[in-house]
Amino acid sequence: MSEPSAAVPFLTVQQHIVEEQKRFPGSSGEFSSLLSGITMATKMIQDKVRRAGLSDILGEHGDINVQGERQQKLDVYSNEVLIHFLGLRDSVGILASEENENPMIVHQGSKDANYAIVFDPLDGSSNIDVNVSVGTTFSILRRPSGVELDDSDAWVLQPGNKQVAAGYVVYGSSTILVYSVGNGVHGFTLDPSLGAYILSHPNMRMPDQGPYYSVNEAYRDTFPPRYGEYIDRLRSGVLGHKYASRYIGSMVADFHRTLLKGGVFLYPPTESNPQGKLRLLYEANPIAFLAEQAGGMAIDGERRVLDIQPTSIHQRTPLVVGSRVELADFERFVCQAETKA
Ligand code: AHM
Ligand code: MG
């Protein structure tokens, strides 16, 4: 009998997580089970996204979600699919979603239910109907010791530095899943013919400096003034070159570009969203975790995003995330100036 070839032509995300788990003594394979829930659900979501114009899935669902926003049909579908597949995993105790007011307790009474998964099922909803990239973000937290299963707030209201894994999927020109278990950041492109996420971007590192800043400049007059002055610095060339701008309006896609090319993405406080628009637990935290794992930084305008102690599930935060050079300049120019003022 011939030996199997030693040359492995590709690595699926499932094989990758199994390898990662070997580095954690006592790991029981819970992560690969969790991740398979995410890969299965996001494959179904991407399938719907790709056919959106052909089926009756575009447009509003008719309901208003907990954020006061009109739900799109694809928001609702994505949420249901994630709840279904993650809810099947024995290791999942709590699920919390942007689309649900309260966390959901799953596997009531199971001693194996040790993880909470917090997610935004479909980020960038305003882009759905116009064929522009949208995404899914997720954050995985361990049940704090001594906490009962039904004390869902205690599971979920943990600072981002307690995340054991985080990631996102971008439904863009291709579908890519990017995740980290705290050992670097790895990207897997969905091969549509195989129906499998294949490692395409191992050990992703954010460039120390990039060519772009990314912000909704239409709100600039309502940002705290130092944010506008910081944008002027980027445009002026004082950081070595004059920046160009890119803004998609889907945080996941804007961050994915920032991860690959470098630069800075900002969602500052505005008149209509004085605390910022993005949600801490399932938008800013997973992005901040990945940014730091890739050598970048994420702050809320004053402090490290991952050190914010959350007080409510859907709380918002300003977000400034990106390369070291741009973030160091932001800290010097905006944060320290605010402290002195
Ligand atoms: P959503 O979760 O309802 O889609 O809202 C979040 C999105 C982010 O993806 C994006 O960065 C931001 O809203 C864009 O907001 P704006 O249109 O104000 O620039
Ligand atoms: Mg969102």
Condensed to tens digits (0 to 9), the pLDDT of residues 122-172 reads: 999 889 889 999 999 999 999 998 888 888 899 999 999 999 999 999 999
Quote the CATH superfamily of domain 13-201.
Answer: Fructose-1,6-Bisphosphatase, subunit A, domain 1 (3.30.540.10)
pLDDT mean across residues, the chain: 91
Q: Is 124 in the pocket of ligand 1 (CB under 6 A)?
A: yes
Q: Is the pLDDT of residue 109 over 70?
A: no
Tens digit of each residue's pLDDT (9 = 90 or more) over 179-191: 999 999 999 999 9
Lowest-pLDDT range, 11-20, 198-207, 251-260? 11-20
Q: What is the per-residue pLDDT for 148?
A: 84
Residues with CB under 5 A from ligand 2 (ion): 120, 123
- How many CB atoms sit inside 10 A of residue 153's CB? 16
Q: Is 216 in the pocket of ligand 1 (CB under 6 A)?
A: yes
Tens digit of each residue's pLDDT (9 = 90 or more) over 223-258: 999 999 999 999 999 999 999 999 999 999 999 999
Tens digit of each residue's pLDDT (9 = 90 or more) over 260-271: 999 999 999 999
- Ligand 1 center to residue 91 CA distance, Å? 31
Domain ranges of the chain: 13-201, 212-340
212-340 folds as: D-Maltodextrin-Binding Protein; domain 2 (3.40.190)
When pLDDT is averaged across residues 199-209 and rounded to a whole number, the result is 97
Q: Is the pLDDT of residue 196 over 60?
A: yes
Percentage of the residues of the chain whose pLDDT score is greater than 70: 89
- Ligand 2 center to residue 166 CA distance, Å? 15
Cα separations in angstroms, 309 against 95, 157, 271, 305, 315: 19, 7, 24, 9, 11
Report the C-alpha gap between 63 and 117 in whole angstroms.
24
Q: Does this chain's domain 13-201 share its CATH topology with 212-340? A: no
pLDDT range class, residue 340, cuts 50, 70, 90: low
Cα Dmax for the chain: 76
Q: What is the per-residue pLDDT for 4?
A: 46
Q: Is 69 in the pocket of ligand 1 (CB under 6 A)?
A: yes
When pLDDT is averaged across residues 51-65 and rounded to a whole number, the result is 72
Report the C-alpha gap between 95 and 109 in whole angstroms.
15
DSSP SS3 for 182: coil
Q: Kindly write down the DSSP assignment for every residue of 305-324, as one continuous string.
A: GGG---SSTT-B--EEEE-H
**189 exposed, middle or buried (CB, 10 Å; 0-12, 13-18, 19+)?**
middle
Q: Is the pTM of this model over 0.85?
A: yes
Tens digit of each residue's pLDDT (9 = 90 or more) over 67-85: 666 667 898 999 999 999 9
Report the C-alpha gap between 233 and 120 in whole angstroms.
33
Q: What is the per-residue pLDDT for 319?
A: 98
